[in-house]
Amino acid sequence: MAMLKGRRVVLGVTGSIAAYKSAHLVRELVKAGADVRVVMTPGAQEFISPLTLGTLSGHPVSSELTEDRAAGTWTDHVELGLWGDVVLVAPATAHTISGMAEGRGDSLLLTVLLSAKCPVIVAPAMDRDMFSHPATQSNLQRLRDRGVHVIEPDEGELASGLQGKGRLAEPERIRTELSDWFVQRSPLLGYHGLMTVGPTHEPIDAVRFIGNRSSGRQGLAIALELAKRGMTLDLIAGPIHLNFDHPAIRRVNVETALDMEAASLSAIKEHLPDVIIGTAAVADVRPSAPLSGKASKNDLPSSIELTQNPDVLLGMTSLVPSACLKVGFALADDDGLEAALRKKGTKGCDMIVLNSLADKGAGFGHTTNQVRFVYGPDRIDSFELKTKEAVASDLADVIQSRLSQRPPLT
């Protein structure tokens, strides 16, 4: 079950007698390497305790929108929806399925489902006649039409004593179907990427440096999107303040352009990449002779001799075969198209992702970006202003399309 290793699963447990199986399901998912966070409806707590599921998952269980009414604290349902690679509702009662189909938000679980950006899977559990009722079947079809995957219930003896279809699928089957589902949604499985993200800091002394305002947010969004699609990555990160954790991403922290160059070339020697993506805003120059310690104001020189930094992107692209897809980034303060075309040629890139400070909401310090994919003078794809996550998805689509035409290089 390697496909579940490191996967983030939000498990919704609802008020069915089958809720007792959720303890076994959590254990199966955790044993397979998944990171599980449980959201329970109030009805589910009538059948199994939050303490049990919290202990097995290793995370506190969420069940109410308000955590502490007196203190005014609340459960961030949006964060839960953004955290997960998938929301799995098992068992899913007829009541919860109806709420999902209608778009209701009258429980924490339903609000998580409404705000989730990740795919949703439901495993129904109810009595035979409830499951076969036209209303339930209609609601399930509405969910399927929206892209929700349904794990069909088993047939057998039900809690009512009746025989028929409606039993929650056994935890082992749910785990296997979830793993198979991830395989189907991992088109970049087996491919490897190398990325640079963030700025570099070139020391003037032990405290001061030459740098820029790059946050690394766009590069990180791209790395996470590619990892979600199954790619493994070496991420060479300059000084950024964004925390993330993904088992498919090996992060190497660096500070200077020389550090980034050394780490990038080392990564290529260790694992030949299928794609290189140079999102880092590498400082063009560095002080020739950094001062030791913290210089006092009076000891600071009136001028600083500067030395040209190595071209990190060119250093990477020159070491890999032509079959490796090479993606560069360019930030302009005007239209920037001519500069992007020049950069594509001089850096040995297959495409340039171009954005401009002239576009409101684009560039450093924003959660949005507006880009153009520059393949050549006669082939340019322009996009409207989007979140950086949406830009990452657009670029991942291009990378996936290109790489799907050949097998991995290693």
Catalytic positions:
212
Q: Are strands 371-376 and 379-382 parallel, antiparallel or unpaired?
A: antiparallel
Question: Can you tell me which residue has the tokens 């190497």?
Answer: 252
The structure tokens listed for 73 are 């604290």
CB 301 within 8 A of CB 217: no
List of residues 6+ apart from 326 with CB closer than 8 A: 275, 276, 316, 317, 320, 347, 348, 349, 350, 351
State the Cα–Cα distance between residues 407 and 410, nearest whole angstrom.
Answer: 9
CA separation for the pair 405, 324 (Å, rounded): 12
Helices (H) and strands (E) in the chain, counts: 13, 23
Distance from the Cα of residue 340 to its chain's centroid: 28
C-alpha to C-alpha distance for 328 and 277, rounded to whole angstroms? 6
Q: Collapsing DSSP states into helix, strand and coil, what is residue 304?
A: coil
Residues 283/304, Cβ–Cβ less than 8 Å? no
Reduce the DSSP state of residue 172 to 3 states and report it: helix
